[in-house]
């Protein structure tokens, strides 16, 4: 089914602020979704936006009733901003890799490209390649546009190859919250056909793209943070999107009997429990105490918290956005007891050495941002582990049934009982010719890390399912 056929009965409202949408309609669509799709969170984010991020929203209606809500952001990034490691790369090497990936991608196709009114079969196709089932809809676009775009594209690539890669800009339209941990940016009304509604999401992103065309154009459209709960998102392949795997999300499933961190520890096998207690003891021996801040304290210590955040953020391999210095205090002030900040500080002074945030999301809790003093950690003080343990304790006290711990430090999180939830996304380049190369370019990337299998609880089935989520 074409995009137009799938959404012919759908009407859309687009907005650049959540405040411009009908409040009750958005609430009805997002009622069973995450707090990160709530008007309160989105409105607060608009007041504390990262410098390179612009929000976009869409509400989809069928027969006058809202059926889907979409949250997206556009951002302009330089390769140099992504990671200091990337800035060291050579631009010619980058474009040479992309060129080879494009050639490999085209050579594998079983379709034929229409050139000069004739069907020209691509050489080197074996039977297995011809038997591949890929997206035929994409090839109609390629056949009609490849020749027209070829000379301009070649010239652009030749120019780009002469530039340092650090100066290369990329414009992205991202469906999903860039400041929302591992959750999709879509909300569907319960009872609707989700496979059909993914076509609605694609149409909404297309319309957002078109609405911005006079002021900005996007090279890539990304739909992020999907899990097996969104199996019907595979319908996006019909519209030229390519699936890519990301790092798994680590989730700790809590027992109903846990009321405190001590209850959690008591359910652990002795060797795992001893390791946690040793790390906590090492913190105390180092003269470091952990304490929860009030919202007022989080506001007064915002500069210190942001500096600690930057120490971790600036060493990440991928950093699309940098949070506003007032973002964490704003969340603390708005969400009260549903947003907690625990800090590590020196017992003999008042210097902050680390922090971790936890936010309640219905029956779940998320470990949000974390930051710590790298020099202190390098000296052997287990700041990171102590803060993670403190976050788990806060989540248990909140009554969370599961704690989302994020996608980094997979092995230490497996040690404390978290299980890996596979995550993936979808990607499409606006240029059909370049979109052909996306699978091969993705193949150049390292495979996502796998979390080790650990069973730290005395009764493994009592705290979380035996199988990986």
Q: Three-state SS string across 123-181, please?
A: CCCCHHHHCCCCCHHHHHHHHHHHHHHHHHHHHHHHHHHCCCHHHCEEEEEEECCCCCC
Cα–Cα separations (whole angstroms), residue 108 to 104, 118, 134: 6, 20, 11
Task: Please identify which residue in the block is written with the tokens 């943070």.
Answer: 225
Q: Could you tell me the pTM of the whole model?
A: 0.80
Give the chain's domains with CATH numbers. 3-79+170-239 (3.40.630.30), 80-168 (no CATH), 257-400 (3.40.630.30)
Task: Evaluate whether 173 touches 183 at the Cβ level (below 8 Å).
Answer: no
pLDDT at position 436 is 74
pLDDT at position 143 is 46
Q: Which residues contact 395 (CB under 8 A, 6 or more apart)?
A: 254, 358, 365, 367, 403
Q: How far apart are CA 200 and CA 56, in angstroms?
A: 15
Give the max Cα distance, the chain: 80
Q: 330, 201, 351: which is closest to 288 by C-alpha? A: 351
pLDDT tens, per residue, the chain with 469 residues: 455 556 778 999 999 999 999 999 999 999 989 999 999 999 999 999 998 899 999 999 999 999 999 999 998 876 555 544 433 444 444 445 555 555 554 444 434 333 333 333 333 333 333 344 444 444 445 544 544 454 455 455 455 444 444 445 667 899 998 888 878 899 999 888 888 899 999 999 999 988 876 556 677 899 999 998 888 999 999 998 999 998 999 999 999 999 999 999 999 999 999 999 999 999 999 999 999 999 999 999 999 999 999 999 888 766 788 999 999 999 999 999 999 999 999 998 889 999 999 999 999 999 999 999 999 999 999 999 999 999 999 999 999 999 999 988 999 999 999 999 999 999 998 777 777 767 766 766 667 889 999 999 987 544 444 333 3
Cα–Cα separations (whole angstroms), residue 165 to 169, 247, 444: 9, 25, 17
pLDDT at position 52 is 87
pLDDT at position 163 is 47
Q: How far is CA 51 from the centre of its chain?
A: 18
Q: 65, 376, 75, 58: which is closest to 200 by C-alpha? A: 58
> How many alpha carbons fall within 13 Å on the CB side of residue 55?
27
Q: How far apart are CA 365 and CA 251, in angstroms?
A: 10
Q: How far apart are CA 437 and CA 433, in angstroms?
A: 8
Kindly tell me the burial class for residue 126, based on how many C-beta atoms sit within 10 Å of its own C-beta (0-12, 13-18, 19 or more): exposed
pLDDT at position 440 is 65
Angle (nearest 5°) at CA 103 between 99 and 108: 150
């Amino acid at each position: 089914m074409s995009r137009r056929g799938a959404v012919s009965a759908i009407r859309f409202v687009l907005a650049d602020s959540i405040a411009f949408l009908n409040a009750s309609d958005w609430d009805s669509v997002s009622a069973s979704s995450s707090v990160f799709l709530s008007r309160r969170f989105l409105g607060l984010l608009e007041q504390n936006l990262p410098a390179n991020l612009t929000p976009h929203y869409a509400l989809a209606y069928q027969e006058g009733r809202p059926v889907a809500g979409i949250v997206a952001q556009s951002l302009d990034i330089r390769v140099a901003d992504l990671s200091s490691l990337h800035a060291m790369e050579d631009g010619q090497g980058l474009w040479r890799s992309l060129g080879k990936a494009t050639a490999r991608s085209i050579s594998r196709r079983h379709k034929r490209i229409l050139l000069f009114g004739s069907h020209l079969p691509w050489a080197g196709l074996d039977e297995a390649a011809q038997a591949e089932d890929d997206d035929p809809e994409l090839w109609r676009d390629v056949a009609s546009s490849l020749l027209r775009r070829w000379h301009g594209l070649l010239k652009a690539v030749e120019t780009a190859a002469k530039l340092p890669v650090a100066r290369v800009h990329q414009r992205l339209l991202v469906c999903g919250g860039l400041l929302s941990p591992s959750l999709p940016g879509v909300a569907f009304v319960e009872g609707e056909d989700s496979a059909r509604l993914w076509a609605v999401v694609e149409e909404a992103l297309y319309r957002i793209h078109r609405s911005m065309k006079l002021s900005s154009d996007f090279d890539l459209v990304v739909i992020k943070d999907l899990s097996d709960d969104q199996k019907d998102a595979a319908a996006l392949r019909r519209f030229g999107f390519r699936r890519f795997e990301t790092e798994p999300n680590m989730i700790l499933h809590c027992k109903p009997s846990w009321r405190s961190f001590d209850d959690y520890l008591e359910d652990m096998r002795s060797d795992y429990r001893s390791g946690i207690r040793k790390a906590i003891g090492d913190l105390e021996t180092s003269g470091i105490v952990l304490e929860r801040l009030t919202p007022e304290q989080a506001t007064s210590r915002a500069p210190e918290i942001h500096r600690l955040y930057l120490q971790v953020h600036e060493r990440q391999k991928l950093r699309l956005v940098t949070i506003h210095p007032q973002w964490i205090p704003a969340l603390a002030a708005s969400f009260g007891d549903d947003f907690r900040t625990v800090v590590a500080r020196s017992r003999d002074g008042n210097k902050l050495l680390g922090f971790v945030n936890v936010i309640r999301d219905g029956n779940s809790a998320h470990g949000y941002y974390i930051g710590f003093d790298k020099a202190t950690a390098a000296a052997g003080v287990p700041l990171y582990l102590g803060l993670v343990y403190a976050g788990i304790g806060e989540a248990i006290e909140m009554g969370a049934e599961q704690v989302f711990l994020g996608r980094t430090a997979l092995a230490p999180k497996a040690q404390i009982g978290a299980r890996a939830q596979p995550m993936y996304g979808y990607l499409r380049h606006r240029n059909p010719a370049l979109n052909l190369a996306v699978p091969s370019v993705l193949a150049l990337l390292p495979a996502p890390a796998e979390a080790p299998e650990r069973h730290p609880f005395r009764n493994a089935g009592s705290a979380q399912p035996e199988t990986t989520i």
